Structure 1
C-alpha cells in the first residue's frame, strides 16, 4: 500500500499534508483515498481539513509553546550567539521555565522545567539551531590592537545592518561561538551609561543584602536609583527593571531619537529574553 512501511505510516512533510488536505477540500479525494495516496493517517487529514489542528502542526507530543513563542525563543538564541553570548541547553530550558512560571500554562514538566526530551524535540523542530562547543574568551584576548579595533567596528556595523563549558545553542554553520561567565563575589555595583555627546544616565547602585539602616542614595547624583541583590551583583531581573524603568524613560526624556544601540559588557545578567523583547 502506498505510503505504508511495515504497517506504519512513514514520515511526511508539511507540503505533502497541504497537498493532501487541498485535494480533499476540492473534492478530488476522499479522506481514505488521500490517506492511502500520501501516507498520512486519515484522522490527521480529517483534523486538519476541519480546522481542528493547524496544517503546520507536527506529529508527536504537544510542544507546549506555540509556534510564535518558539520562533521568539529561536530568534533570541540566534541573536545572542551572533554577538558572542551563546546560551547553554540549561539556560534555554530556564527561559522556558520562567515563561511557564509566569504564564501558568499546564505542562508535563517537573516544576515547569523542560527535560532533555523536550529540548531534543525543540532542536529537531528548528534545524537552524545546533549544539556547539564554544571557545572560551580569555583575558589575554582583550589586548587592544589596531586590527582588533577595526574588526570590532566591522562586526558592529554588520550587526546593525542585520539588525571548557557546556555546549551552547547557535545558528547552524556558525564558525565561532563564545560563552562568558559571571563571578559570585559580593560587592556594590554601580551601573552607568553615557553617549558620545557626553550625555549620561544617572547611575543605578546595587547593594548586597535586603535591608538598609540608612538612605542608600544619600550623596548619590540626582535621579539615581538603587536595587538590592544577595551579592550586590547585577542579575537579569534587576537589569530588566533598569532598562525598562530607568534607562529607557531617561533616554526618552533627553529627546534622543530611536532606535539606539546600548553596548554592555559580557555579564550574563545582560542576556535575557525579556530585555531583548523590550527593545
Structure 2
C-alpha cells in the first residue's frame, strides 16, 4: 500500500509522521485518487476512527514515542566519518602504547535531558528499536549527565551538569 510505504520511508529518513500527518496524507491521497470518502472537508484530514481502522488493517505500522535527533547529528553519521574515527583511534592507541593497558583506556558519554521538550507520538514500523524525529536545537533548558568507564570495566562517579549551579564537590 502506498501510504504504508510512505510512512516507513519517512521513518527511515528520520522524519517519522505523527497521527495528524498520516490523517492529512490519507485525506490528500483520497482526493488525488478521486475516491469517495466521508472525511470532514473543513478539517482536510481523515478521522480518528479511520486511523484506528488503518492501524488494524496494517499491523506492520504502530504508534511509538519518537526520540529527538538534531539535524547536524543525523548528517554526521556516515561511512567516511566512522572510518576516519576508527583510523584515528588506532593511531592514538598505537602511539601511546595502550593496546595492552585497558585500565588506561576510558570512554565517556554525555546525555542531555531537555526539561521542556515534549515529542509527539509518531507512526512507525512495528518492531523498530528506536524511532527518531529530527528536531530543532532550540528547545528548553538541559541537564547533562556524564558517565565514564575504562576498558577494564571500572566506572568513575557520574557527573551531573546543571545550568546555574556551581559546586566544588569537596575538591578545594
- The normalised TM-score by structure 1 is 0.32
Which is richer in helix? 1
- TM-score, L = length of structure 2: 0.49
Q: Taking CA–CA contacts closer than 8 Å with sequence separation of 6 or more, which of the two structures ends up with the larger relative contact order? A: 2
